[in-house]
Amino acid sequence: MTATDTTTVVPKTLAPKTRGGVAQSVHDSLVIAKRNLIRMMRIPEIVVFGLIQPVMFVLLFSYVFGGSINVDGSSDPKAFREFLMAGIFTQTVTFATAGSSAGIAEDMTKGLIDRFRSLPMARGAVLTGRTIADLVQTALTMVVLVAVALLVGWRIHEGLPKALGAFGLMLLLGYAFTWIGALIGLSVRSPEAATSAGLIWLFPVTFVSNAFVPTAGMPGWLQTIADWNPFSATVQAGRVLFGNPGVSQSDAWPMQHPVWASLFWSLLIIVVFRTLAVRKYRSTTA
């Protein structure tokens, strides 16, 4: 009697191709960014309401305070509008931080982060993708805001390349601040708390600065804080590159070298707060 070989042949499963650490992180980050951008397009109210606040700031500051603040010894409203816009642009990109905080906190409370944890993806990609999507949304907001600024009389006087450099520095600072927002979103228990916590620290940062009034009229100690404020460095860089009035005469290094100061502050904030946010993400979801 011949024995029959009944050995079962198990089909080989196709293992997913593995990427290197950096390549996988970049790919996963872009996938998460795409997910957030699709969500943004499906909820256009996010973009619409994000536009209303900066447009209101432009109109209110331009026409309410335009004739009451002297810029370079002139009370001309047009001079103030040109002085103002670098501050409004920079404020707009930094206020996107609150949205980052609330969005990440919402994903945490809904369990979306837990679902991401079950996938073979880079841990930091969830936060990086979110911040990239927020940066794209902020850039779109800036395009509309530039059109409004042109309508109220703002102009650039140093050429398009320098103006693009100014917007690049502003967006870089906004991206840096979204990492602060990410850390806040991971540290609170609800989206409502994240929204409040994401805004409360922004007000002193943006108003104790050279964004809306020259710092020369501030008390000495407050002027020093304003001159070394990373926000002020980016605003000052914008005015220099746009050729707008109100360039600070302060001897503080960030005011004398605003472009380099803005770049330095932004990169420093990204390195520090990205490290803290990713560490917090790993410990929270462990």
226-253 mean pLDDT: 90
Which segments within the chain are labelled E, that is strand? none
Structure tokens that stand for 237 in this block: 């860089």
Q: What is the reported pLDDT for 58? A: 82
User: Rg of the chain over CA atoms, in angstroms?
Assistant: 23
For residue 18, the model assigns a pLDDT of: 45
Which residues partner with 71 through β-bridges?
A: 74
pTM here is 0.84
Q: Is pLDDT at 177 greater than 90 in this prediction?
A: yes
pLDDT band at 285 (very low <50, low <70, confident <90, very high): low
Q: How far apart are CA 61 and CA 223, in angstroms?
A: 21
- Give domain limits for the chain: 27-284
Alpha-helical runs (H) found in 110-124? 112-117
More confident residue, 214 or 274: 274
- pLDDT category, 20, cuts 50, 70, 90? low
Residue range 259-274: average pLDDT?
96
Tokens 């320098």 — which residue? Answer: 162
203, 182 Cβ separation under 8 angstroms: no
Give residues with Cβ within 8 angstroms of 47, minimum separation 6.
40, 137, 140, 141
Contacts of 102 (CB under 8 A, 6+ apart): 185, 191, 192, 194, 195, 198
72 band by pLDDT with thresholds 50, 70 and 90: low
Which of 74-83, 87-96, 176-185, 253-262 has the lowest average pLDDT? 74-83
> Highest-confidence range of 6-10, 15-19, 274-278, by mean pLDDT?
274-278
pLDDT for the residue 113: 67
Q: Are 244 and 157 in contact (CB under 8 A)?
A: yes
10 has a pLDDT exceeding 90: no
Residues 128-164 pLDDT 10s: 888 888 888 888 889 888 998 888 888 899 999 999 9
pLDDT at residue 274 tops 80: yes
Given a cut of 60, whether residue 35 has pLDDT beyond it is yes
What is the structure's pLDDT at 137? 85
pLDDT over 70 (residue 195): yes
Q: Which residue has the higher pLDDT, 262 or 6?
A: 262
pLDDT of residue 188: 83
User: What pairs with residue 74 in β-bridges?
Assistant: 71
The average pLDDT across 37-41 equals 77
Judge whether 239 and 247 are in contact, CB under 8 Å: yes
